[in-house]
Amino acid sequence: MHSEEVLALFRKMVEARRFEEKAAELYTQGHIRGFCHLYIGQEAVIVGVAKNIKYLQESPLDSVITSYRDHAHMLTLGVDPRIIMAELCGKEAGCSKGKGGSMHMYSKPLNFYGGNGIVGAQVSIGTGLALAHKYNNDGGVALIFYGDGAANQGQVYESFNMAALWKLPAVYVLENNRYALGTSIPRAVAGNSLINRGDPFGIPTIIVDGMDVFDVIDKSREAIDYARSGNGPIILHMDTYRYRGHSMSDPGTYRPRSEIEQIKKERDPIVKIKSELLTTYNVSPEEIERIEEEAERLMKTAAEFAINAEEADVGQLETDIILS
Amino acid sequence: MQVRTAIRDAIAEEMRRDRSVFLMGEEVGRYNGAYKASQGLLDEFGEQRVIDTPITEYGFAGIGVGTALAGLRPIVEFMTFNFAMQAIDHIVNSAAKTLYMSGGAMHCPIVFRGPNGVPRGVAAQHSQCFAGWYAHVPGLKVVAPYTAMEAKCLLKAAIRDDNPVVFLEHEVLYGQQFEMRDDIRLLSKPSESVLMEGDPARRTGVYLSVHEDSSTGPTQQKNDCGELGKKSIELLPLDKAVIMRHGTDITITAFSISVMHAMEAAGILWEKHGISAEVINLISLRPIDRDTIVNSVMKTGRIINIEEGWSACGIGSEIISIVTETAFDYLDAEPVRITSADVPMPYSKQLEDLALPNVDMIVNRIARMCGRR
Ligand SMILES: Cc1ncc(C[n+]2csc(CCOP(=O)(O)OP(=O)(O)O)c2C)c(N)n1
Ligand SMILES: [Mg+2]
CA distance A148 to B330: 59
Determine which one of B14, B90, B126, B211 is catalytic. Answer: B126
pLDDT for A266 beyond 50: yes
For domain B3-174, the CATH architecture is 3-Layer(aba) Sandwich (3.40)
Residue A182 Cα distances to A31, A178, B77, B268, angstroms:
26, 10, 16, 44
Interval A143-195: pLDDT, tens:
999 999 999 999 999 999 999 999 999 999 999 999 999 999 999 999 999 99
CA-based nearest distance A139→chain B, Å: 32
| pLDDT of res. B232 | 60
For residue B283, how far is its CA from the centre of ligand 1 (angstroms)?
Answer: 31
Does residue A149 line the site of ligand 1, with CB under 6 A? Answer: yes
What are the distances in angstroms from CA B341 to CA A225, B101, B332? 47, 38, 26
Q: Is B271 a catalytic residue?
A: no
Instruction: State the virtual CA torsion across A52, A54, A60, A62 in degrees, nearest 10.
Output: -80
pLDDT at residue A311, rounded to an integer: 98
Of A37, A97, A67, A71, residue with least CA distance to A242? A37
CA distance A177 to A147: 7
Q: Is any Cβ of chain B less than 8 angstroms from the Cβ of A5?
A: no
Q: Is A117 in the pocket of ligand 1 (CB under 6 A)?
A: yes
- What parts of chain B have a pLDDT lower than 70? 181-232, 373
B353 touches chain A (CB under 8 A): no
Residue percentage of chain A with pLDDT more than 90: 100
Quote the pLDDT of residue B373: 59
Catalytic, B107? Answer: no
The pLDDT value given to residue B372: 79
CB pairs < 8 Å spanning A and B: 121
Residues of A in contact with B52 (CB under 8 A): 183, 187-188
Which residues have CB under 8 Å from B223's CB, separation 6+? B186, B211, B214, B231, B233
Is the CB of residue A38 below 6 angstroms from any atom belonging to ligand 1? no
Q: How far is A91 from chain B (nearest CA, A)?
A: 7
Contact B55 A101 (CB under 8 A): no
* B348 Cβ under 8 Å from any chain A Cβ: yes
- The answer to whether residues A123 and A175 touch, using CB atoms and an 8 Å cutoff, is no
* Cα of B242 from ligand 1 centre, angstroms: 37
Asked if the Cβ–Cβ distance from A153 to B52 is below 8 Å, we say: no
Q: Is B86 in the pocket of ligand 1 (CB under 6 A)?
A: yes
CATH 3.40.50.970 range(s) for chain B read 3-174
The Cβ-side half-sphere exposure at B340, using a 13 Å CA radius, reads 27
Tell me whether residues B121 and A33 touch, CB distance under 8 A.
Answer: yes
Least confident of A90-104, A204-218, B128-142, B225-239: B225-239
Fold of B242-369: Rossmann fold (3.40.50)
Using alpha carbons, select from A231, A177, A187, A234 the residue that is nearest to residue A206: A234
Q: pTM (2 decimals)? A: 0.93
- Between positions 64 and 123 of B, the ones with CB within 8 A of A are 82-83, 85-86, 120-123
Residues of each domain in chain B carrying CATH 3.40.50.920: 242-369
Residues B4, B9, B10, B11: is their CA dihedral positive or negative? positive
Residue with the smallest CA separation from ligand 1 atom 21 is A147
Looking at residue B117, the DSSP 8-state letter turns out to be B
Q: Which domains does chain A have, with CATH numbers?
A: 3-310 (3.40.50.970)
Which residue type sits at B125? Q
Contact residues, A window 191-230, toward B, CB-based 8 Å cutoff: none
| Nearest CA distance, A226 vs chain B (angstrom) | 30
Peptide bond into B335 cis (omega under 30): no
Cβ of A118 less than 6 Å from ligand 1:
yes
